[in-house]
Amino acid sequence: MKLREEYTCPLELVHDMIKGKWKSIILWRLRLGATSLAKLERDIEGITQKMLLEQLKELMDYGFVEKKTFEGYPLRVEYSLTSDMGMQILEALKIMQQIGISYLKENGLEHVLEEKGVLLE
């Protein structure tokens, strides 16, 4: 995705960097640590490998995700959050997760959290 040249504010820029159905979900999954492409694809229900690769490339281009390639056969690759921007965006996603949990609880939708295995406090 190409970023625009002008923005109303920095928040608009970050929104463009992580917008879409999959980016925040990929980033949220990577909070658990470095992982392979195959594991990411298994863990994120409904994403295709093509879409996952496209979204990972954009997240790497923006500096949220890094890719580490290991020598040897078979070739092994791991994706992880970067220590700077990746970990910073994770803090914002944690707040967004809490807002979602609160909303579901307040609206009698705890069963959604239970179905997804989200721990209730």
Determine contact, residues 27/41, Cβ cutoff 8 Å. no
Q: How many structural domains comprise the chain?
A: 1
Q: Please indicate, yes or no, if residue 11 is contained in any of the structural domains.
A: no
pTM of structure: 0.87
Q: What is the DSSP letter of 66?
A: E
In a domain, 58, yes or no: yes
pLDDT band at 121 (very low <50, low <70, confident <90, very high): low
Q: Classify each residue of 46-72 as buried b or exposed e, where b means 16 or more C-beta atoms within 10 Å of its C-beta.
A: ebeeebbeebbebbeebebbbeeeeee
In a domain? residue 121: no
Specify the CATH number for the domain of residue 27: 1.10.10.10
> Could you report the per-residue pLDDT of 17-43, keeping only the tens digit for each?
999 899 999 999 999 999 999 999 999
9 falls within a domain:
no
Range of the domain at 54: 21-115
pLDDT, tens only, 38-68: 999 999 999 999 999 999 999 999 999 999 9
